Chain A
């Protein structure tokens, strides 16, 4: 079952080709199509009725106040929520038209196609080389591992800094370097999508800028979804922005919902909803 999927999305370019046959040339085709997404943790209704379309080779930003469910929604895209025992996902998340929560979908295979970068840099307690090589190795990569490690680090703009210390522990790197290593690690399995959960929130402004520049470069090959607390960051890097907000539901629980989803320029200059305008102008949140 995993085999055909592997072939379908071996390289991002291949996906682009097959997708462009279906979609019109002007509008990038949807990588993810989310409708009526509801997420529960036990009895807690975390996210309510979310619907977004994520376009290919774009950067989509999820912004909103704490607890608005933006990370929760992000974690539905690579089935990371499966790791939380009480989590339950309702509604549909389609990835190139395939229901990610379909019966014959293997979450492990999903995560090989949809990479993730976490809020705090979390390199493996291994050498820099092994951090990159682990993913491809378990996925059964047969090619030249040295080349793959080099190209992955190169694309994450880290190669020049680490090429002489590949066998040193990843913990020897600075926080910003560790985060770029995590991006390189996510790229190494040649995914189609990169999910970034506040990737720069633990970094200083210079390291943050490097990550943002990197995202711009990676955009041509990957579809990127970024969750961020930093509105300027969303404005700087993203093509489309989804604004999430929190409201109390009938049980008094803080449930997140999608307020507005549009092109980033529109969201920041001419939002349709007052809540969005209040948030981006700093009146709350």
Chain B
């Protein structure tokens, strides 16, 4: 070989071929842009929270637990959330007791038993539509059906009416959540179960439901959280929007639920927000903080349930 310049070795050729700038300009810009979107969303949330905490802090500092345990009052220095919290918690009990079994039952039927006919698909499509109906429409339904038509059962503007209204509101969402959880169970599991001679119900009870349960429970808790924050339908379904109402001292629990006036946390906050006096600004903010904390607790419960049930 009489070449003047030495021919490049394989190592040198490969070195040249796989060397590069190592910077992906477009990719970096996209990543930065995406990061900005996170900061914008988080920023809105943090600003809201900070604003509420700053405005409402004086209430917690001065009154402490008294703010949570006091009843409504026209005097902002005395008004508290106890009736709102009681109402909201009882409404959630109604939602869980009524909408959970109905929604999960309907989902099991549709996913496991119903034949795939046009009627089934029509029903499922409409359940999805119902889940998107504005909540105020459910409020109208609650007013005409539960407050007026069924007043013999619900005693008119009571927690029963409000609870049933919210239960109907979340029923389609509950059903869709449960349907999706059931649909996510692998077909191979059903085949395995039928293959060893299980009946349909044995398959559902022992194989499908245990697998779908974490997702069903998590979805249901989140659905309940949604109902917890609703105010519009309750305004129509008879929740009291007032600075003051009370049942006579010593009214029994059953009477409070089935006969007495009621309100809910978001309604109380809404009512305070529309009061003209400046002093109401602070307790409105404090009320919102309590509402958000309770929502966080419900969502936390969803995460806890999911971890607990899926680990088994």
Contact = CB atoms under 8 A, between A and B. Distances in A.
Nearest to B195: A116
Nearest to A185: B196
B181 to A, nearest CB: 14
B196 A186 contact: yes
Interface stretch (B8-16, B52-60, B198-206): B198-206
Interface string A130-143: 00001100110000
B196 A122 contact: no
B192 A124 contact: yes
Contacts of A116: 191, 195
Contacts of B195: 78, 80, 111, 115-116, 118, 186
Contacts of A188: 196
A111 B194 contact: yes
B206 A85 contact: no
Contacts of A124: 189, 192-193, 207
Contacts of B192: 118, 122-124, 182, 185
A83 interface: yes
Nearest to B115: A85
A125 interface: yes
Contacts of B190: 83
A88 interface: no
Given A124-B189, A138-B206, A85 B194 contact: no
Interface in A88-115: 108-109, 111-112, 115
A122 B194 contact: no
A155 interface: no
A109 B197 contact: yes
A34 B193 CA distance: 26
Contacts of A83: 190-191, 194
Nearest to B190: A83
A124 B190 CA distance: 9
Nearest to B210: A125
Interface residues of A, number: 25
A45 interface: no
Given A83-B190, A120-B188, A135 B196 contact: yes
Interface in B271-295: none
Interface residues of B, number: 20
A109 B194 CA distance: 10
A189 interface: yes
Nearest to A110: B197
B62 interface: no
Given A85-B116, A125-B211, A115 B196 contact: yes
Interface string A153-196: 00000000000000000000000000000100110110000000
B198 A134 contact: yes
Nearest to B199: A108
Interface string B210-221: 110000000000
Interface centre among B189, B191, B196 (most CB of A within 10 A): B196
A26 to B, nearest CB: 34
Most buried by A among B188, B194, B207, B211: B194
Contacts of A122: 186, 188-189, 191-192
B152 to A, nearest CB: 44
B190 to A, nearest CB: 7
B264 to A, nearest CB: 40
Given A138-B202, A138-B206, A111 B188 contact: no
A80 B197 contact: no
Contact of B188 (A118, A138, A185): A118
Contact of A108 (B186, B189, B197, B206): B197
A23 to B, nearest CB: 27
A189 B197 contact: yes
Nearest to A117: B195
Interface in A186-217: 186, 188-189
Contacts of B116: 85
Given A118-B195, A123-B192, 4 more contacts: A80-B194, A108-B197, A134-B206, A138-B206
Interface of B: 115-116, 186, 188-199, 202, 206-207, 210-211
30 contacts: A78-B195, A80-B191, A80-B194, A83-B191, A83-B194, A85-B115, A109-B197, A111-B196, A112-B196, A112-B197, A116-B195, A118-B188, A120-B188, A122-B188, A122-B189, A122-B192, A123-B192, A124-B192, A125-B210, A125-B211, A135-B196, A138-B196, A138-B198, A138-B199, A182-B192, A185-B192, A185-B196, A188-B196, A189-B196, A189-B197
Top 8 nearest A-B pairs (CB, nearest first) are A112-B197, A135-B196, A122-B188, A116-B195, A111-B197, A122-B192, A138-B202, A108-B199
